[in-house]
Structure formats: structure tokens, C-alpha cells
Amino acid sequence: MKVLVTGGLGFIGSNFIRHLLKARPSWKIVNLDKQTYAGNPANLKGLKVETIKKDICDPKAVDRAMKGCDFVVHFAAETHVDRSILDAGAFLKTNILGTQVLLDAALSQQVRRFVHVSTDEVYGSIPKGYSKEGDHLEPNSPYAASKAAADLLVRSYFVTHKAPVLVTRASNNYGPYQYPEKALPLMITNFMEDKPFPQYGDGKQVRDWLHVADHARGILLVLEKGILGEVYNIGGSYTCQNRELIQRVLRLMKQPNDLVARVEDRKGHDRRYALDCSKLKRLGFRHAYGFDEGLRQTIAWYQDNEAWWRPLKVAGGYRSYLQKAYKRK
């Protein structure tokens, strides 16, 4: 089998490739990645993967990369909500137009299966209960809106063209190789540097935490056993308020409470996400990581891999960007 992975140098994409190399060692993997700020070649260093540095919005490059592939797993996206609030344009181009280019190529190349990796944020904030795959999409940020649009585009290609597509929607991921502007790695690395972590508003936003290795397992399960045209939620094993997570990490890292800086809340900040994963579990999915174990391992990974994350923070344009994104209270 030959599989095209888009965005395989990113956090989730690189962890999926690592999982695939162990779970399906006979498969050939082609990685198509533009290598933006979050696409880090170090994430796949030394691994047997063909990486092509091209944009998914380039039809000719996509056609060449997809040639001879049986499967496509589409991760490539602009993903950071705060960046989408400041400048939505890149999100619309990559997340919508890029997905359309890939879908057209998949039809032309007659791939057997195409998995579009999406997010729980397309459902919007829910005060109680759990989001199910058939619920209305109510995205509240430009990022979430761009992903919801891509989800609907994928659906339209199934209905109109009978394209062999599937969609997965996952909750908040955590684990190794996550770019350090995201909440948990920013928290961990800031605490390692004795620097404060910005808590948005009252910190009572509720998030569902999914280890990236469990996410990778769920995606592979959907790729191989999912029903074409269907959507599958991949939720986490632990739900908590953001302020509870911060306190938990402080305790595990033995750091004082004064390393928390309460800042102005994000515009349009969703209050609560929660996913119903019963549909995926009917395919046989079970979580391999409990949150306590996964969080400790994640903290240890960043502590042991300072050479990986420190250059990203030193070089990061995200520092000046974060200063624009919030004001300290």
C-alpha cells in the first residue's frame, strides 16, 4: 500500500506517520508538506519517509505527489485559533482551497480512501451533553469556520462525485512534537523557564484531552474500517477546565501559582467542547492512554527534548504574535 500524508511534519501528522511506520511497516509513505512555521523536519528526522516540500494549493504538485497512492490522509491546515482571529486569509486558502485541490486530485488519481482530519471546534460551544456526528455545525472562530467549510466540501464530493471520503473530528490533542505556541507545550516550556503562562479569562473553559497516539490509532482505524461518506468523532479520555489543567501541570512540575498570568479572554472563545465517540467505538476503538500517564509522559518528553523546542521558541515569530493576541489583566 502507498499512502499520501499531507502536513506530515506537523504535530499530529508526524505522530500519525510514526504510528503508521510501526503498525503498517510494509506501507510506503509520501509526505506532502509546505513546511510553514509549524512544519518541522526534525519531527521525522531519520525516518523512512519521502517528503515533498510543496503547497497543497498547487494542483500540479498535488497530482505528482498523489500518483500511485492508494490512500490519502489529509492533516495539512492552518490550525491556531488566535492566528485566525488576527488574519483569516491564510486559513481560508489552505483549509478550504487546499482541500478542494486534494479532492480533485483524489478523483483524478482514483484513490481508494481519503481521510479528512478535522476538529471538534466545528460543532461550536455546547453547554452540556456531547456533540454527535450529525449535529449542526456552528463554528465560532475563523479557524473553525474554515474547517467546517472543508468538512462540508468533503461531504459534497461524496454526494456529487461518489468520492471515497471519510471525516474525523478530534478533541484537543497533547503529546510529543507539538509546536510550542499551543497551550500545553507553551505551558510546560514556560514553566521550565520560570516564565508565566497566560490563562485566558477565568480559565473555566472546558476541554476534552486526547493523546496524539490515540488520535493516530483512531485515524488508522477509520482509514481501514470506516464507512465511506461518514464522519467519526475521536474524543479524549479526560475532560477538565483550563484552570484545572494549569494547576495540575504546576503541581507535577513543582512550580508556584504565581507563574499564571490571567489575560484578557480570547474573542469568541468557546466555553465547552465534548464529543460522543460511540460511533468510533463500534469500530473497535479503545483509548490506550489515561490522562495522568499521558500528561506525565508529555511533560517528561519536553523536559528531555529541550534541543527540539528551544530553537522554535527562540526563533518564533509567535512571541510578538502572542503579545498582540492577549492583554494581561
Q: Is 208 considered catalytic here?
A: no
- State the CB neighbour count (10 A cutoff) for residue 115: 26
Cell digits of residue 245: 489543567
- d(CA 222, CA 282) in angstroms, rounded, equals 11
Encode pLDDT of 19-65 as tens digits.
999 999 999 999 999 999 889 999 999 999 999 999 999 999 999 99
Each residue of 278-292: pLDDT tens digit? Answer: 999 999 999 999 999
Q: In this structure, which amino acid lies at residue 143?
A: Y
Give the separation between CA 14 and CA 31, rounded to whole angstroms: 9
Q: DSSP for 173-193, please give it.
A: EESTT--TTSHHHHHHHHHHT
The residues spanned by each domain of the chain are 2-171+211-234, 174-207+237-272+291-325
Fold of 2-171+211-234: Rossmann fold (3.40.50)
**Catalytic hit among 55, 123, 133, 143:** 143
**The dihedral sign for the CA sequence 6, 9, 12, 16:** positive
Of 55, 82, 120, 270, which residue is the catalytic one?
Answer: 120
Residue 306 annotated in active site: no
pLDDT tens series, the chain, 329 aa: 999 999 999 999 999 999 999 999 999 999 999 999 889 999 999 999 999 999 999 999 999 999 999 999 999 998 888 888 888 999 999 999 999 999 999 999 999 999 999 999 999 999 999 999 999 999 999 999 999 999 999 999 999 999 999 999 999 999 999 999 899 999 999 999 999 999 999 999 999 999 999 999 999 999 999 999 999 999 998 999 999 999 999 999 999 999 999 998 888 788 999 999 999 999 999 999 999 999 999 999 999 999 999 999 876 644 444 544 444 44
Nearest CA-CA partner of 151 in 121, 186, 116: 116
Residues whose CB is less than 8 angstroms from the CB of residue 323 and which lie 6 or more positions away in sequence, other chains included: none
- Is 304 marked active-site? no
C-alpha of 75 from chain center: 7
Q: Which CATH architecture has domain 174-207+237-272+291-325?
A: Alpha-Beta Complex (3.90)
Out of 121, 151, 181, 214, the active site residue is 121
Residue 17 to residue 24: CA distance in whole angstroms: 10
Q: Round to whole Å and give the CA distance between 200 and 213.
A: 27
